Structure 1
Amino acid sequence: MTGPQEILAPLREAEIRSGLIIRRIGTTIHLFQEVESTNDEAAALASRGEAEGTIVIAERQRRGRGRLGRRWESPTGLGLYLSVILRPAIPPQSAPILTLMGAVAGAEAIERTTGLTTTLKWPNDLILHGRKVGGILGEMAAEGARLLHVIIGIGINVNQTETDFAGELRQIATSLRVEAGQPIDRTAMARSLCESLDGWYERFLSHGPQPILEQVRRRCLTVGRMVTARSGDEEVSGFAVEMDDLGRLVIRDATGALHHLVAGDVTLTG
């Protein structure tokens, strides 16, 4: 039986590997005590030819980040900060579907490990009981029409308590420990995340984006709500009609015009 000391212990590569059932994602694992960011570390490895499926995990990120360069708080030993190198044979414009894949895999892994039903806020937030428990950051490198690699970074608040969230974060963020009412085994969470990523990536390679899109639609909190979305310098408010077959959020504004967002910062307003 696993006790609280084991659950809260540092991550160890051998323990993550033990019992891991995967085809390609997690065949190589680089575990660091501290990095600037796992996405940066994975991108550096990818540029040096590291194999697809390589995982980078860190106990702490000095400059963890989310979308739009926002800081992602990454305290030592409390969260799961993981990035994976992917090299699919797809055009660069199709790469955003892999961010949605990371969100689906993250939600599935949380449910398998904790039993907590997890929803998604388009395009990349993992939500438990209305508060953010994790996020996905997809970044790619391309040469013209050729995709070199995609890095999918996933950050999940695992064992933070309420007091670990400062200021306004306490109102909008949560952790698996807070929601489950008990500490969560980060090793089990890391293993489950690798297996979920592996399974969904295999589905993507075999069947294309549709299985991912179906899962996102099933879990998505955004569609059917009034929203305000910011993408670059543009802002659009209206009704989120659907997520289309390219993974874009379709918003109908007050004039009836439809806007198709590839990415954006979305606030639910009604």
Structure 2
Amino acid sequence: MTPRDASEPPAGRWSDLDRPPLDATALRRALLREGGLWSELEVVQRTGSTNSDLVARWAGGSARGGTVLVAEEQTAARGRLDRRWSAPPRSGLFFSVLLEPAVPVARWGWLPLLTGVAVATGLARTAGVDTALKWPNDLLLTVGGAERKAGGILLERAGESAVVIGVGINVTLRETELPVPTAGSLALAGAVTTDRDPLLRAVLRALADWYGRWSAADGDPLASGLQETYAAGCATLGREVRAELPGDRSITGEAIAIDGDGRLVIATADGVREPVGAGDIVHLRAV
């Protein structure tokens, strides 16, 4: 199946008037600038995974740094730990970007956190909702007084010199469409707008801004302001958490800091401060 540009008129089951298609032409006009980060932008009607598509295009030499691939629907989307998820067509923002960081590889671990800051910034400015970040890659919104996950981020390497970062954000997902009760969406959180065009523009502009600051500082999270900004918006810090780690190991304690490598530092009851670089974090309660 050849992906179709989403600026074409939708047909059949794609004709939900509450969920109009993205305007690919207008997005390109607004975001592609001489000397800017974004070099190409494509909107496809349906694909398996925008991350997988961009990794494959990079390997085949048909994509370059600054490429943005957006899908109106993903049928084989993946989250962290290879979790699968799906959402109704045009109910969210599902996109991936290809970047070629000119900073030390040791600092690339900050990219998911940087993307989280950019997504939260763009959505707060445009949708007018309070957003928070759950380490390392979840976007949280408040729905009915409760924290709910409304988005996620997944980074994948593309060869030795590039990365693909995938973002999924629930925009108009209705209560009856939620995959789990702990999920949420911008609409359910009372967003002032659920128009995906300005939302996507705001997120990509914020991502370009933060990526530029981080790159200019050679990936230094302190000098770029990234470490401080992420910590300020991180809902995980100051809470008792359980970290489920590789190898069927887990630790419980207070999340006290984000270290210079972007790891979550957990203080356990026996006084040990353990940095966690990979794992599943469960929020237990506020401290």
One-letter code of the match for 1:80? Answer: L
Shift of 1:252: 1.5
Partner of 2:186: 176
In the alignment, the residues of structure 1 paired with residue 152 and residue 272 of structure 2 have an alpha-carbon distance, to the nearest angstrom, of 30
Residue deviations 1:76-101, cap 9 Å, x none? 11110010001112343322100101
Partner of 1:35: 47
Give ranges in structure 2 of 5+ residues lacking alignment: 1-15
Partner of 1:240: 255
Shift of 1:177: 1.1
1:107 aligns with 2:117: no
One-letter code of the match for 2:86? Answer: E
After superposition, residues 83-94 of structure 1 pair within 5 angstroms as 83-94=96-107
Partner of 2:69: 56
Residue deviations 1:35-85, cap 9 Å, x none? 111110111122233221100100111111110011122321111001000
Give ranges in structure 1 of 5+ residues lacking alignment: none
Q: 1:54 to 1:21 in 2, by over 3 A?
A: closer
Partner of 2:5: none
> Displaced runs of 4+ in structure 1, greater than 4 A?
none
In the alignment, the residues of structure 1 paired with residue 18 and residue 69 of structure 2 have an alpha-carbon distance, to the nearest angstrom, of 21
In the alignment, the residues of structure 2 paired with residue 20 and residue 90 of structure 1 have an alpha-carbon distance, to the nearest angstrom, of 24
Partner of 1:132: 149
Shift of 1:190: 1.3
The correspondence for 2:207, drawn from 194, 197, 217, is: 197
One-letter code of the match for 2:190? Answer: A
Structure number with the bigger relative contact order (C-alpha 8 A, sep ≥ 6) is 1
Does the CA contact (< 8 Å) of 2:126 and 2:193 recur in 1?
A: no
Q: 1:25 to 1:172 in 2, by over 3 A?
A: farther
- Give 3-state SS (helix, strand or coil) of 2:119's partner: helix
After superposition, residues 1-270 of structure 1 pair within 5 angstroms as 8-20=19-31, 23-49=35-61, 50-129=63-142, 130-142=147-159, 147-166=160-179, 169=180, 171-180=181-190, 184-207=194-217, 208=219, 209-210=221-222, 211-233=225-247, 234-270=249-285
Percent identity between matched residues is 37
- Give 3-state SS (helix, strand or coil) of 1:56's partner: strand
Q: 1:66 to 1:75 in 2, by over 3 A?
A: same
One-letter code of the match for 1:73? Answer: S
- Give 3-state SS (helix, strand or coil) of 1:176's partner: coil
- Give 3-state SS (helix, strand or coil) of 1:77's partner: coil
In the alignment, the residues of structure 2 paired with residue 227 and residue 15 of structure 1 have an alpha-carbon distance, to the nearest angstrom, of 43
Shift of 1:205: 0.7
In the alignment, the residues of structure 2 paired with residue 6 and residue 165 of structure 1 have an alpha-carbon distance, to the nearest angstrom, of 20
TM-score (norm 2): 0.85
One-letter code of the match for 2:46? Answer: E
In the alignment, the residues of structure 2 paired with residue 153 and residue 223 of structure 1 have an alpha-carbon distance, to the nearest angstrom, of 24
With 180-189 and 154-163 compared, the bigger mean Cα shift is at 180-189
Q: RMSD of the TM alignment (CA)?
A: 1.9
One-letter code of the match for 1:262? Answer: G
Shift of 1:27: 2.4
Aligned residues: 259
